[in-house]
Structure 1
Amino acid sequence: MTLEKSSAPFTESAEESSSRSVNSAEVSAGDDLRGRVRALFRARPWYAVVVDAVLALGCGLADREARTGFAPGEIYSPLPPSLSGWLTLAVAGLLLVRRRFPVVVAAAVTGGLLLGTGSVLTLSVAYYSLARHGGPVRRIRTVVVTASLGLVTVLAVAVTHLHRLAPRHGLTASYQGVLLLVVALAAVVLPVLAGLRPLGRHPGWWETRRAMLFDVSLVVLFPLANPAVLLVDVVHGGSLGLPAPVVAALAVLGGLTVVLRRRYPAGVAVASIVLLPLVLPPLSALPVSLYTVAKYGRSRRQLLTISGAAAAVLLAWAYLVDLPVVLPMAMFLLVSMIVVPVLLGMYRGTKQSLLVNLRERAERLEREQHLKEAQARMQERARIAREMHDVVSHRVSLMVVHAGALEAGAGGDNEVARKTGALIGQMGRQALNELRDVLNVLRMDHPDEQTPEPSLPTLDDVPTLVEESRSTGARIDLDITGTPRDLDADLGGALYRLVQEGLTNACKHAAGAPVRVEVRHLTDTVRVRVENDAPQGPPGTELPSGGRGLVGLGERVSTLGGSFTSGALPGGGFAIEATVPLAGR
């Protein structure tokens, strides 16, 4: 009975846990799907999404309209015309993911040609994206293989189209060859080359790539918008009686000059004023050129002259076309095409000049601050050098003098005193030489000044250091294993100072205790260890201690990429150890 009662809750809990696991699996699957959808647009700024959407819509509409310009049966398509048009829009929609999946988009657009989509502009954008966003890993190989297959497919489809068009339009063989070459260059070759060599941060005379793309968009806007309206206007007897091709060519030329507006603002404005009678004011580049002159122009006099000429030409145009309401329309055109662009350009130019001045001022103040800090550091280093020279050097010099007197006064009567005086004098002179090297570094006027570097000791000098300490009566065992190798000055000097600090600490705090120094030259590391046994009695001489020796050693070893340990041993002794890797040295 008890088992039945206990087993029932267990069964229910198992069922609940299984249901919860199923629900959690469904939730995780939903989260995974949403994560994949978000990944399509991850790390993409808003303007990139806008550009891709405009490209997809523009290419789809342009390709679909291009198909309607041909008579039925003139172009190859195994599908009905309506279905081909919608398929063209669908293929162009793939440009939304051209940055994330460039190879897939290029392959899909190329395959769409076999179904008669006629995606000419879409094909160019797809192959540019293939070369631009293909990724650094095996990029050249992927681009070459995909572009080669795409070029063969494009030429095959183009030959099929020309085979249908040539009899109806009388296209010769040489003309067909030129068309094939133009199609190959425009659809695949030039987009791939442009994508493989991306624009720099400052392309041409533009400050940024975004500024260049904006100007190119303006160039595309004005030449495409004006001729369509101008041709209708010419048919009805407008545009000063000029032939339609001349008017269209001048309109396109006026639109192309916009690309130079940042480099030659006055010239572009003059061209816009001259071409104003040939174009409709709403489609004129005059506001853009006046805005550019107000922002990038050289002087206010030049801006006033150009603005006055534009106003005169605009009023004359309004009078000649005999508008129903001349005065209100003229005032509206003056305000919208001259006054507003000029004021906006002056505001932007003044703001940009202010920002440039503030940036230069901030940079100048930062440089002055760095110079003041460097000067303060130099003064402090000079003060420290003077103090060290006046105090430490004086005391060590007196120690050397007294050691010499001790050595000379002892003579042959006391051999121990004579040797001790000689050893103290030698060590004092060595300390003075090292102190002089340090003072030379501190007295540098500039951080990059070339001065002779101090002669740093290395691990090869450890035996000499041990012998000097043994001469004081200390019991020191030295154990060097492995094959010594040439080490960097910083590495060898740091390990030498570690042995020196260990021997000094043993002399201070464990006088008379045995000391062991180990140097291990391993395959990829160097290990140095200094340890001493417990002191056998109170120290005989109290020596000053700053308490920063071990901290400084740890910092130096860490800078070299090694590990540093120090601490008391179980038997009452003390040990310090450092291990430094040799990789990359």
Structure 2
Amino acid sequence: MHSAAASARDDLRSRVRTLFRRRPWFAVVVDVVLALGCALADPEIRTAFAPGEIYSPLSPSLSGWLTAAVAMLLLFRRRFPVAVAAAVTGGLLLGTGSVLTLSVAYYSLARHAGPVRRIRTVVVAASLGLATVLAVALVHLHRLAPRHGLSASYQGVLLLVVALAAVVLPVLAGLRPLGRHPGWWETRRAMLFDVSLVVLFPLVNPAVILVSAVGGNPLGLPAPVVAALAVLGGLTVVLRRRYPAAVAVASIVLLPLVLPPLSALPVGLYTVAKYGRSRRQLLVISGAAAAVLLAWSFLADASMVFLLAMFLLVSMVVAPVLLGMYRGAKQSLLVNLRERAERLEREQHLKEAQARMQERARIAREMHDVVSHRVSLMVVHAGALEAGAGGDNEVARKTGALIGQMGRQALNELRDVLNVLRMDQPGEQDAAPSQPALDDVTTLVEESRSTGARIDLDITGTPRDLDADLGAALYRLVQEGLTNACKHASGAPVRVEVRHGTDTVRVRVENDAPQGPSGTALPSGGRGLVGLGERVGALGGSFTSGGLPGGGFAIEATVPLTGR
């Protein structure tokens, strides 16, 4: 029993961790604030209506508790957006919820629905939700209209506003989310912080500033003007990153209208110190703010004017400016370090590219000096053999001509490879080597037959145009198979099969067991089959090689054609 209970607790903890995994702290804070705000605001909105004006089959107290509980479901809006939207919409049938909770739920539905069939899910759920919202709103209006004398046109306007605010606009906003750099903000987190600062922080909250402003007006302005200026002064904080000096100046101008402890001045000075253009601008604005605070302290008729003035200067000017300068210097240092790291990384990449180019040039020089020299001598001796044989020995003349032809072909291919190695830029295409194709297999087999090898070529199916990389890879496979047969099974029969299917191409080269020791002593690097396997694998095909039961050897590759 004890182990079963412990296992159940571990399973519950695992489910909870899975539910909240990979959620950054600011997302959790936003969800908690939204859920608590809706849970507190929705029941208060319901109390503004008289009993009987809002439809609900439940008692008022139970309906209020259910409204708060439904709002708390917004904590799971990112993980289960469809379920939360369905629960909030279903709660309307019981008389719970409000437009605020609905708008958040349907925004989350459009924003966080899964990528699979997202549009279809959002359209169906939003359509059903809109129909439910309109139906419940009609029931409410049927109760409210006789008591408040609402006309039919006014009811239609109300229905339109409810539909737009609860479902339509939130869904459209969720389907088209903010970009990575919304407006003048660097990130969406910065935008969310500034908006939350205006709504939640008392020093810049328009409602709090308004309460402070209407209490006294030393300038003798009308109350509506003072209220409008106070609210605008709080709302200007959202522009603090774009216009830091203007926000600070607005805070200084509003000081005669707002009590300094509730002024947005510290936020404005902090922003100027962090994002301002120059130290001279910061000095002028800070001096103006200090002068206005000193004047307000001496005009406040307080018993301890000096202490009040010092407290205001330190808390509202010195501390914000020093903190802003520190944060600005730290941000500038981080930006400089990041730019320096990126510059060093770019320089490192350039050095690595330069080293690769130098190494490729060195390899090209070595190949030219060694391989090209040896092959050129082979061609010269083949030409001498062909010329010296004349008509006395037809076999020697043909052999010399064939060796010379193969040597010249090898020199041409070597020149193309050297041109690729000598390219200064990876994107250059002029020196790209000519790629052999699968159609050239017939010529390759004929050249091998001319050496006396017994080779059978079998091509079936309808040939089609293949990609250059695919054709070259299959050609090299046949070439490697014939070369291996010449090295290790000289004189043994060889079979080459090319099968053109509807969606694949299969190439197979196999040779019988050698009749005796090979008469040639050709060097082998041991990397030919490995390289072929890598090339075929890169093309999405399969490659096999190995011995046969009778003592022979075979290599085979099958490459798909679909999607190419």
TM-score, with structure 2 as normaliser: 0.91
| Contact 1:222–1:252 under 8 Å retained in 2 | no
Letter in 2 for 1:370: H
Residue in structure 2 matched with residue 402 of structure 1 by the alignment = 381
Structure 1, residues 22-80: CA drift from partner, whole Å, max 9, x if none?
Answer: 99888776665555444433433332222111111112222233334445555555544
User: d(CA) in 2 for partners of 1:300 and 1:470?
Assistant: 87
| Contact 2:209–2:234 under 8 Å retained in 1 | no
User: d(CA) in 2 for partners of 1:346 and 1:102?
Assistant: 42
Give the SS at the match of 1:516. strand
User: d(CA) in 2 for partners of 1:457 and 1:229?
Assistant: 80
**Structure 2 unaligned runs (5+)?**
none
| Contact 2:206–2:232 under 8 Å retained in 1 | no
User: d(CA) in 2 for partners of 1:232 and 1:363?
Assistant: 50
1:242 Cα deviation (Å)? 3.7
Letter in 2 for 1:474: A
Structure 1, residues 302-353: CA drift from partner, whole Å, max 9, x if none?
Answer: 1111111111112222222323432223222222222222111111111111
Give the SS at the match of 1:381. helix
- Rate the CA distance shift 1:321–1:186 in 2: closer, same or farther, 3 A: farther
Residue in structure 1 matched with residue 164 of structure 2 by the alignment = 185
1:176 Cα deviation (Å)? 5.2
User: d(CA) in 2 for partners of 1:153 and 1:550?
Assistant: 69
Residue in structure 2 matched with residue 297 of structure 1 by the alignment = 276
1:290 Cα deviation (Å)? 1.3
User: d(CA) in 1 for partners of 2:201 and 2:72?
Assistant: 25
User: d(CA) in 1 for partners of 2:303 and 2:139?
Assistant: 55
1:549 Cα deviation (Å)? 2.1
User: d(CA) in 2 for partners of 1:249 and 1:152?
Assistant: 39
| 117-126 or 495-504, larger mean C-alpha shift | 117-126
| Contact 2:212–2:259 under 8 Å retained in 1 | no
User: d(CA) in 1 for partners of 2:319 and 2:536?
Assistant: 67
Residue in structure 1 matched with residue 402 of structure 2 by the alignment = 423
Residue in structure 2 matched with residue 11 of structure 1 by the alignment = none
For residue 518 of structure 2, the aligned residue among 526, 539, 549 is: 539
Instruction: Kindly indicate whether residue 355 of structure 2 is the aligned counterpart of residue 379 of structure 1.
Output: no
For residue 512 of structure 1, the aligned residue among 481, 491, 506 is: 491
Residue in structure 1 matched with residue 558 of structure 2 by the alignment = 579
Structure 1, residues 140-171: CA drift from partner, whole Å, max 9, x if none?
Answer: 34333433444444445545555665666666
Give the SS at the match of 1:412. coil
Letter in 1 for 2:38: C
Residue in structure 2 matched with residue 16 of structure 1 by the alignment = none
1:297 Cα deviation (Å)? 0.7
Letter in 2 for 1:348: R
Residue in structure 2 matched with residue 343 of structure 1 by the alignment = 322
Residue in structure 2 matched with residue 279 of structure 1 by the alignment = 258
Give the SS at the match of 1:277. coil
Residue in structure 1 matched with residue 447 of structure 2 by the alignment = 468
User: d(CA) in 2 for partners of 1:513 and 1:566?
Assistant: 18
User: d(CA) in 2 for partners of 1:324 and 1:114?
Assistant: 61
- Rate the CA distance shift 1:151–1:320 in 2: closer, same or farther, 3 A: farther
Residue in structure 2 matched with residue 565 of structure 1 by the alignment = 544
Give the SS at the match of 1:547. coil
1:261 Cα deviation (Å)? 0.7
Instruction: Kindly indicate whether residue 301 of structure 2 is the aligned counterpart of residue 359 of structure 1.
Output: no
Residue in structure 2 matched with residue 478 of structure 1 by the alignment = 457
User: d(CA) in 2 for partners of 1:583 and 1:180?
Assistant: 55
Residue in structure 1 matched with residue 101 of structure 2 by the alignment = 122
Instruction: Kindly indicate whether residue 410 of structure 2 is the aligned counterpart of residue 448 of structure 1.
Output: no
Letter in 2 for 1:122: T
- Rate the CA distance shift 1:188–1:541 in 2: closer, same or farther, 3 A: closer
- Rate the CA distance shift 1:266–1:429 in 2: closer, same or farther, 3 A: same
User: d(CA) in 1 for partners of 2:546 and 2:68?
Assistant: 76
TM-score, with structure 1 as normaliser: 0.88
1:172 Cα deviation (Å)? 6.1
User: d(CA) in 1 for partners of 2:546 and 2:126?
Assistant: 67
**Structure 1 unaligned runs (5+)?**
1-21
For residue 302 of structure 2, the aligned residue among 304, 323, 340 is: 323
User: d(CA) in 2 for partners of 1:237 and 1:263?
Assistant: 31
Instruction: Kindly indicate whether residue 244 of structure 2 is the aligned counterpart of residue 258 of structure 1.
Output: no
User: d(CA) in 1 for partners of 2:3 and 2:200?
Assistant: 53
User: d(CA) in 2 for partners of 1:258 and 1:323?
Assistant: 30
| Contact 2:70–2:97 under 8 Å retained in 1 | no
Instruction: Kindly indicate whether residue 60 of structure 2 is the aligned counterpart of residue 85 of structure 1.
Output: no
- Rate the CA distance shift 1:186–1:313 in 2: closer, same or farther, 3 A: farther
Count of aligned pairs between the two proteins: 563
Structure 1, residues 457-510: CA drift from partner, whole Å, max 9, x if none?
Answer: 222222222221222222222233333222222222122222222222222222
Residue in structure 1 matched with residue 207 of structure 2 by the alignment = 227
1:190 Cα deviation (Å)? 1.9
User: d(CA) in 1 for partners of 2:541 and 2:173?
Assistant: 49
Structure 1, residues 193-241: CA drift from partner, whole Å, max 9, x if none?
Answer: 211111111111111111111111122236984535644763x555644
Residue in structure 1 matched with residue 500 of structure 2 by the alignment = 521
| Contact 1:222–1:255 under 8 Å retained in 2 | no
For residue 549 of structure 1, the aligned residue among 528, 533, 552 is: 528
| Contact 2:458–2:496 under 8 Å retained in 1 | yes
User: d(CA) in 2 for partners of 1:342 and 1:533?
Assistant: 89
Residue in structure 1 matched with residue 20 of structure 2 by the alignment = 41
| Contact 1:227–1:248 under 8 Å retained in 2 | no
Give the SS at the match of 2:256. helix
Identity of aligned residues (%): 88
1:379 Cα deviation (Å)? 1.8
- Rate the CA distance shift 1:579–1:177 in 2: closer, same or farther, 3 A: closer
